[in-house]
Amino acid sequence: MTTAHPLPEPALATGEDPREYAQVLHAVHDAAMAGSRLPARPRPVIGQSWARAADAGVDPDIGGPLDPIADAELGRRRAASGLSDLLDDLTHGLDALLRDSPNILVVADAGGHVLWRAGTLAVRRRADGLGFVEGASWAENAVGTNAIGTALSARRAVQVFSAEHYVRSHHAWTCTGAPIRDPRTGGMLGVVDVSGPASSIHPATIALVDSVARLAEARLQNAHRDQLDLLRSVAAPILARAGRPTLAVDEFGWVAAVDRVEPQRRISLPTDLTPSRISVSGLGLCDIEPLPGGWLIRPAGDTQRECTTVTIGDVVTVTSGDGVWTHRPSPRHLDLLTHLARNRAGMSAAELAAAIFGDASRTVTVRAEMSRLRRTFGGLLATGPYRFAKEVTVRL
């Protein structure tokens, strides 16, 4: 569940004059963009990023399209990012770089879209002038070399100083970004970035930003361990009754509990699981049954697969094979489950918003609530549109 991280490399060596170094970088950038002989070589992480930006067709004099996404899409991305619970930790950890300074803190998602910003009004206005606004894409293929897009592409903490930026209008800035990985999957969740005037560069900034990103990952990892412990407590009595080889795993395949199966840390699961009989690597044909926050997996053998039944009342009861578990939903979640039970073909976010709130525009709230529901009910609930999985029997 841990991933090795490359040591962060500052753009400027300790004791180096930023103004002199910026002049060198301007000369290197001008030569590179003109296709001339370079007076010096850019750092490898920068040279590789410039090549990617050129391949993407980014214009160094104009940049790329900076039209921010619509508010509704921004809200959806925030809810789906997995980063909202980390905002306080990120802001607190980097407060020393923001307090009474010209720096701005930015949190972007795995696609490079700016989700949140923090900083003084003055620095946010300066950022506005660059299109460094909430909803804008700062992926490399949109705006060239920058700490957000380049950290995502390089999968490491990156500091970009002055003319290391691909687009000339960004040369007055320095930015430092560190990726935040999902410890459950190893994939990218997004980037935390601190940006400000080029003159504010400091070699220690990248170490601090990187350490704050690593602390955020550690918090996510601890939360994941807590979720596995909870799943283990739910699964233990079911495994005790089963009397046959059984595993309890979370939605990412991490093993919480086993009985009569060789212990292992993680198994590979297909995406978009539903209660079914599938082939699992290392186990063969298996029955997959839902648990709160995970799945019960049992080698199928010659047994007849039993269907999953969801009974909705004040308490939701899920019956599947040897397992029975209950969940007491909030009134809003009960409304959502009831509407989906009555509309087995599925409902869009707008249709659910109209049914629950009488306002079809409240899709952001619906998506956030459905995301929370799916953490509990897993593959019992499908998306596109939202619906109960077809293999599930639902009773009201």
Strand 294-299 with 158-161, pairing: unpaired
Query: Do 252 and 159 reside in the same domain of the chain?
Result: no
Please tell me which residue, 278 or 333, carries the higher pLDDT value: 333
Q: What is the CATH number of the domain that holds 170?
A: 3.30.450.40
The answer to whether 105 and 118 are in contact (CB under 8 A) is: yes
Q: Which residue's structure tokens are 């047994």?
A: 303
pLDDT of 4: 61
Question: 173 or 376, which is more confident?
Answer: 173
Q: Clarify whether residues 43 and 181 are in a common domain.
A: yes
Could you tell me if 29 and 145 lie in one domain?
Answer: yes
pLDDT at 322: 60
How does DSSP classify residue 278? E
Residue 186 lies in a domain: yes
Cβ within 8 Å of residue 56, ≥6 positions away: 140, 141, 144
Q: Is residue 183 part of a domain?
A: yes
pLDDT at 347 over 90: yes
CATH number for the domain harbouring residue 267? 1.10.10.10
Q: What are the CA-CA distances from residue 147 to residues 211, 289, 312, 326, 382 (Å)?
A: 16, 43, 48, 46, 36
Question: What is the pLDDT, as a whole number, of residue 358?
Answer: 93
Between CA 315 and CA 330 the distance in angstroms is 10
Give the pLDDT score at 302. 56
Residue 304 in this model has a pLDDT that exceeds 70: no
What number is the average pLDDT over the span 330-346?
94
Lowest mean pLDDT among 2-11, 65-74, 168-177: 2-11
| Residue 79 near residue 87 (C-beta atoms within 8 A) | no
In terms of average pLDDT, the best of 202-211, 270-279, 367-376 is: 202-211
- Calculate the average pLDDT of the chain: 89
Q: What is the predicted pLDDT for the residue at 390? A: 82
Mean pLDDT of 105-109: 97
Q: Is residue 9 part of a domain?
A: no
97 with 30, same domain? yes
Which residue has tokens 């990985």?
181
Tell me whether residue 227 is in a domain: no
174 found inside a domain:
yes
DSSP state of 69: P
Strand, helix or coil at 203? coil
In this prediction, residue 171 carries a pLDDT of 96
What domain range includes position 376? 243-395
CB-count exposure of residue 265 (10 Å: 0-12, 13-18, 19+): exposed
Q: What is the pLDDT confidence band of residue 96, given thresholds at 50, 70 and 90?
A: confident
What mean pLDDT do residues 353-372 have?
A: 90
Q: Is the pLDDT of residue 122 over 80?
A: yes
pLDDT, one tens digit per residue, over 228-249 is 998 998 888 888 887 788 899 9
Q: Which residue has the higher pLDDT, 323 or 267?
A: 267
CA distance 165 to 158: 12
Angstrom distances, CA of residue 48 to CA of 108, 164, 180, 205: 22, 11, 21, 22
- Indicate if 207 and 317 belong to the same structural domain: no
The whole-number pLDDT of residue 184 equals 92
**% of the chain surpassing 90 pLDDT:** 59
- Six-digit token string for 307: 């269907």
Asked if residue 16 has pLDDT above 80, the reply is yes
> Is the distance from CB of 344 to CB of 380 less than 8 angstroms?
no
Q: Same structural domain for residues 285 and 165?
A: no
Model confidence at 380, pLDDT cuts 50, 70, 90, reads confident
Counting the structural domains of the chain, the total is: 2
Flag whether pLDDT at 72 surpasses 90.
Answer: no
Q: Are residues 174 and 309 in the same domain?
A: no
Confidence of residue 305 (pLDDT cuts 50, 70, 90): low
Claim to verify: residue 211 and residue 292 sit in the same structural domain:
no
Mean pLDDT calculated for residue range 42-62: 95
pLDDT interval class at 383 (50, 70, 90): confident
CA 269 to chain centre: 19
Q: Domain end: 169, 187, 220, which one?
A: 220
Same domain, 177 and 254: no
At 196 the pLDDT is 94
Q: Report the C-alpha gap between 29 and 43 in whole angstroms.
A: 12
- Are 249 and 216 members of one domain? no
In a domain, 8, yes or no: no
pLDDT at 181 over 90: yes
pLDDT for 368 equals 86
Do residues 278 and 136 both lie within one domain? no
Same domain, 170 and 134: yes
In a domain, 2, yes or no: no
The answer to whether position 331 is within a domain reads yes
Q: pLDDT value at position 89? A: 92
Domain boundary among 166, 185, 220: 220
The pLDDT value given to residue 143: 95
Q: What does the pLDDT read at residue 38?
A: 96
Assign 3-class secondary structure to 285-346: EEEEEEECCEEEEEECCCCCCCCEEEEECCCEEEEECCEEEEECCCHHHHHHHHHHHHCCCC
Q: Is 56 helix (H, G, I), strand (E, B) or coil?
A: coil
* pLDDT for the residue 389: 84
